[in-house]
Homo-oligomer: A and B are copies of this chain.
Amino acid sequence: MYSAKEAAEITGLSTAALRYYEREKLLPQIRRNRQKYRQYTEEDIEWIKMIQCMRMANIPIQSIKQYVSLLIQGGTTLEQRYRMVQAHMENIKKQIADLQNAFALTQSKLSFYEKLLKDPMHQNITYIDEWNLFQHGGL
C-alpha cells in the first residue's frame, strides 16, 4: 500500500495527475484509509505504469478511458477490445515509421553539420545556401 506521494514518486507522475486519472476513470476508484487518504495497491501501480506506456504511445486519455470501461464491462466486450488494441497497434507502427523517417533526416543533418564544422571555409553559408547544400548533397 502506497500513499499518494509514494505512488507519485514510483511512477514519476504528480499526485494531481494521479487524481486526474482517477477522476477520468482511467484508474478504478482507489482504496482509502480512515482519513480518506488514497492507498495505492501494487496492482494500481502496475496499472498506472500500463497507462504511462499507453500515453507514451500517444493514446489519448479518452481512448484509454473507453478501453478501461470495456474492460470493466467484461467478457462480452472482448472483440471490441481486441479491435481497439489492433487499432492502437497500427497507430504505434505509424508513429515508429514517422520517427524513423525523422531519425534518418536528422542523421544526415548531423553529418552535414559535421562536415561543415571540419571545413571552416564553408561556415559562412546562410539559410538558403544551407538548405540547397543540404538538399543536393553539396560538400
| Residue in B closest to A49 when the chains form the complex, CB atoms | B105
Number of copies: 2
Given contacts A82-B113, A117-B78, contact A46 B135 (CB under 8 A): yes
Given contacts A92-B99, A117-B79, A117-B82, contact A74 B124 (CB under 8 A): yes
Q: Say whether A89 contacts B72, CB under 8 Å.
A: no
Question: Is A101 in contact with chain B by the CB < 8 A criterion?
Answer: yes
CA separation between A101 and B57, bound complex, in Å?
A: 9
Chain A contact surface mostly: helix
Which residues of A come within 8 Å of B, CB atoms?
A: 28, 43, 46-47, 50, 53-54, 56-57, 71-72, 74-76, 78-79, 81-82, 85-86, 88-89, 92-93, 95-96, 98-103, 105-107, 109-110, 113-114, 116-117, 123-128, 130-131, 135
Contact of A72 among B98, B100, B116, B127 (CB under 8 A): B127
Q: Which residues from B are CB-within-8-Å of A57?
A: 98-99, 102, 106
Q: Which residues from B are CB-within-8-Å of A53?
A: 98, 101-102, 105
Can you identify 25 A-B contacts, CB atoms within 8 angstroms? A28-B127, A43-B128, A50-B105, A53-B101, A57-B98, A57-B99, A71-B127, A72-B126, A72-B127, A74-B125, A74-B126, A74-B127, A75-B126, A76-B123, A78-B113, A78-B117, A79-B117, A82-B117, A85-B106, A89-B106, A92-B99, A96-B96, A96-B99, A96-B100, A96-B103
